[in-house]
Chains A and B, each alone.
Chain A
């Protein structure tokens, strides 16, 4: 996985946002996965087709955090989502 990758959301993944939080339902496994405020924003950007680099840049503009921390958080979350089958990296 690298910063030029984009994510696709499989059809068996359903998403529900309430306020600043999100819960993702994976119909394949019947399990739920929660995202906090920053995770929700990362998910929105991925859903819009942004590359991981574009996600990092947007997060840097919106959240008060160091660039290396944002990049680590974005990549960690993308790896976890990918590992659980909630996104497909392309």
Chain B
């Protein structure tokens, strides 16, 4: 998911890392057991140990966990940090923890299965009276004038210099949630606090909210910026507001076209984020009204409409569809059926190459495919049979 440069950027972000360090210092008491979900290259366990944790359970599904192990050893805390490779929702801990820390956000806390992971960890692992970092994310929104962000997604499909009609790409581009940055001077209305994610109590990973904002100056609105203020612990807040020098960037909910607005106009937004499979579908319905009530524009958008999709893909995901396994499936099924703890990858590759000579130029090519599947489906350390 992240590469080493991404992890480097997160660590180098002094505002972010410094805020989490302060939160850990305030939350961790001598002798505490701490859980870090999504430890990455493992900097939070170091802070937790520095501030008195007797033990830290550090969970990470990415292979960068090896960097975290080496980092723990380099800092002399390898005996206090226990690493767990895999998804937190499939891992069992031998004990309850006093503090859970995680930073699984994207531009917003609704990011892949992060909320599910935190809710699950709180229920299964947090001791009574335990603390969570972050405690809460407040979500803010404002209409913005962002001609550069808007031009970047509209121009290729609407104003290309080659004389072709490329407008078929616009609906996909317009239904995509983009990443800022957005500056404070680009806001057209005072930001509105439209939702909060309470990690101490949250029982659902979904978001459904309404925002109503009054335009404060004339301009051209290109969409909506939304960001978080993360209350990490007590009064320690990490804000991703426009202009904040944080590495997350604000989310930009695009509008398909710019809307001329005047001071006093009202922008109403119904926004929801629904976890479908492993990621969120974001939907935002925006209405711009004049002060006296006349509707100027109304857009109904969703990332569901922004996903590249073909008719055969549509059929393949429908609940009424009767599927028929293709040859890719047959190939993988053959490989997986041979992964029962008896055959080496080389032996499986030989079977595969012999069965599908038109797919694999030889055993070496078959072996590369078998190795990929072995990596994806291997039993993780500590995973029970």
Contacts and interface: CB of A to CB of B under 8 A. Distances in A.
Interface of A: 11-12, 14, 16, 18-19, 21-23, 25, 27-28, 30-34
B281 to A, nearest CB: 6
Given A19-B311, A34-B315, A27 B276 contact: yes
B320 A33 contact: yes
Given A16-B314, A31-B319, A34-B318, 5 more contacts: A12-B272, A16-B304, A18-B309, A30-B274, A32-B318
Given A23-B317, A27-B276, A18 B304 contact: no
B294 interface: no
Contact of A18 (B274, B281, B314, B321): B314
A30 B277 contact: yes
A61 B28 CA distance: 73
Contacts of B270: 11
A18 B319 contact: no
20 contacts: A12-B274, A14-B281, A16-B304, A16-B314, A18-B309, A18-B314, A21-B311, A23-B318, A27-B272, A27-B274, A28-B274, A30-B276, A30-B277, A31-B319, A32-B314, A32-B319, A33-B318, A33-B319, A34-B314, A34-B321
Nearest to B302: A14
Contacts of A32: 314, 317-319
Nearest to B317: A32
Interface residues of B, number: 21
Interface of B: 270, 272, 274-277, 281, 283, 302, 304-305, 309-311, 314-315, 317-321
B314 A14 contact: no
A21 B315 contact: yes
A80 B281 CA distance: 24
A87 to B, nearest CB: 15
Contacts, number: 53
A60 to B, nearest CB: 24
Contact of A14 (B304, B317, B318, B320): B304
Given A16-B304, A30-B276, A25 B281 contact: yes
B354 to A, nearest CB: 38
A19 B310 CA distance: 9
Contacts of A18: 309-311, 314
Contacts of B319: 31-34
Contacts of B274: 12, 27-28, 30
A34 B317 CA distance: 8
A70 B305 CA distance: 30
Contacts of B275: 30
A7 to B, nearest CB: 18
A27 to B, nearest CB: 4
Interface centre among B270, B305, B311 (most CB of A within 10 A): B311
B321 A25 contact: no
Nearest to B277: A30
B311 A25 contact: no
A19 B319 CA distance: 19
The 7 A-B pairs at the shortest CB distance, nearest first, are namely A34-B318, A27-B274, A23-B314, A30-B276, A32-B317, A14-B304, A18-B311
Contacts of A19: 311
Contacts of B304: 14, 16, 25
Contacts of B309: 16, 18, 23
Contacts of B321: 34
